[in-house]
Amino acid sequence: MAHTTFTPEGHKTESFRLLSGHKIPAVGLGTWQSGSQASHAVFTALVEGGYRHIDTAWEYGDQNEVGQGMKRAIHAGIERRDLFVTSKLWCTELSPERVRPALLNTLQELQSDYLDLFLIHWPFRLREGASRPPKAGDVLEFDMEGVWREMEKLVKDNLVRSIGVCNFTITKLNKLLGFAELIPSVCQMEMHPGWRNDKMLQLCRMNGIHVTAYSPLGSQEGGRDLIHDQTVERIAKKLNKTPGQVLVKWGLQRGTSVIPKSSNPERIKENIKVFDWVIPDQDFEALSSISDQKRVMDGEDMFVDKSEGPFRSVADLWDHED
């Protein structure tokens, strides 16, 4: 259930309570592919848009810029303790001894003493310097339990407030739940009306794990153009909202937090104006019934090696569950 609050500047906002006891703001700013614009985007989001949640990752190569944007916002009067900052452990760092150094490097890049949420970015370990697509020997064995134990220690040492995973399947999440001392607070997954992923949402709900929906607008170049989807456009027009707002609101009404990316100041501000209206049931159902269900982020270019394996197809990556 979402909780409504107001920022000191008077922006209405919502958040969800996590298993860790901390709260995650319902809408966050995605920063993948924001590049040199990340600093300005983060500053605009925090100071003008009323955002308090920023999603980044070492792999995005923009953590220094994200940190600069946060620092400027803090100088403008926003308190670090009111921010919720997520980063992710990249695939080359998925061995127990690399977890803490990777986190410390991320903290340095972000100019922060702690992270609010640290996620395993993808459940596949890559050799440093791995090619895309991977060559023989690029995809290594992943010691999930050893890595998770190190993530748990980061929480105990107050370097990270909550931990979680991304891009897990039912099989992998059940495996993790079998040994976790700290249950993941968050599972971040691709979710939008073109890829609902109901099965994972249900498993997370049953275990009290909060879900964050990534690529809520269908992602970027080469993604799925949901902004111009007929059903989305029709409902946006009817509700006098933009397609982007309808897509964000659809995710919120499913109980997920949502992290739309934009580096355009007007769209950044537009995407978070979603707290004082609802998508009526019948329109929500129409959005939830789009028949062409397909992942955008299927991981093929990063992890599939058709001839050498260990993952020879996209279906292998997703444990043949789709």
Distance of alpha carbon 38 from alpha carbon 57, whole angstroms: 12
Other beta carbons within 10 angstroms of residue 44's beta carbon come to 22
- Looking at 32, 168, 195, 275, which residue binds ligand 1BO (CB under 6 A)? 32
**Shortest Å distance, C-beta 161 to ligand 1BO:** 21
What does 123 bind: ligand 1BO, ligand NDP, none (CB cut-off 5 to 8 Å by kind)?
A: none
Query: Would you give the binding string for ligand NDP spanning residues 16-45, x where CB under 6 A is met?
Result: --------------xxx-------------
**Shortest Å distance, C-beta 138 to ligand NDP:** 18
Q: Does 142 bind ligand 1BO (CB under 6 A)?
A: no
User: CA angle 14-15-21, nearest 5°?
Assistant: 155
User: How many residues line the site for ligand NDP (CB under 6 A)?
Assistant: 28
What does 116 bind: ligand 1BO, ligand NDP, none (CB cut-off 5 to 8 Å by kind)?
A: none
- Looking at 267, 269, 286, 305, which residue binds ligand NDP (CB under 6 A)? 267
Q: Which amino acid makes up residue 83?
A: L
**Shortest Å distance, C-beta 66 to ligand NDP:** 10
Which parts of 121-150 interact with ligand NDP (CB under 6 A)?
Answer: 121
Nearer residue to ligand 1BO within complex by CB, 57 or 144: 57
Quick check: 63 and 103 in contact, CB under 8 A?
A: no
Q: Does 65 bind ligand 1BO (CB under 6 A)?
A: no
Nearer residue to ligand 1BO within complex by CB, 16 or 32: 32
Q: Does 271 bind ligand NDP (CB under 6 A)?
A: yes
**Shortest Å distance, C-beta 22 to ligand 1BO:** 22
Which residue has 């991304």 as its token pair? 166
Q: Does 59 bind ligand 1BO (CB under 6 A)?
A: yes
**Three-class SS of the chain:** CEEEEECCCCCEEEEEECCCCCEEECECEECCCCHHHHHHHHHHHHHHCCCCEEECCHHHCCHHHHHHHHHHHHHCCCCHHHCEEEEEECHHHCCHHHHHHHHHHHHHHHCCCCEEEEEECCCCEECCCCCCCCCCCCEECCCHHHHHHHHHHHHHCCCEEEEEEECCCHHHHHHHHHHCCCCCCEEEEECECCECCHHHHHHHHHCCCEEEEECCCCCCCCCCCHHHCHHHHHHHHHHCCCHHHHHHHHHHHCCCEECCECCCHHHHHHHCCCCCCCCCHHHHHHHCCCCCCCCCCCCHHHHCCCCCCCCCCHHHHCCCCC
- Is 121 marked as binding a ligand? yes
**Shortest Å distance, C-beta 32 to ligand 1BO:** 5
Q: Does 215 bind ligand NDP (CB under 6 A)?
A: yes
Q: Does 235 bind ligand NDP (CB under 6 A)?
A: no
**Residue 60 annotated as catalytic:** yes
Nearer residue to ligand NDP within complex by CB, 181 or 292: 292
Tell me which residues are annotated as active site.
60
Binding residues for substrate: 121
Residues that bind ligand NDP (CB under 6 A): 30-32, 55, 121, 166-167, 188, 214-220, 227, 242, 244, 259-264, 267, 270-271, 297
Binding residues: 121
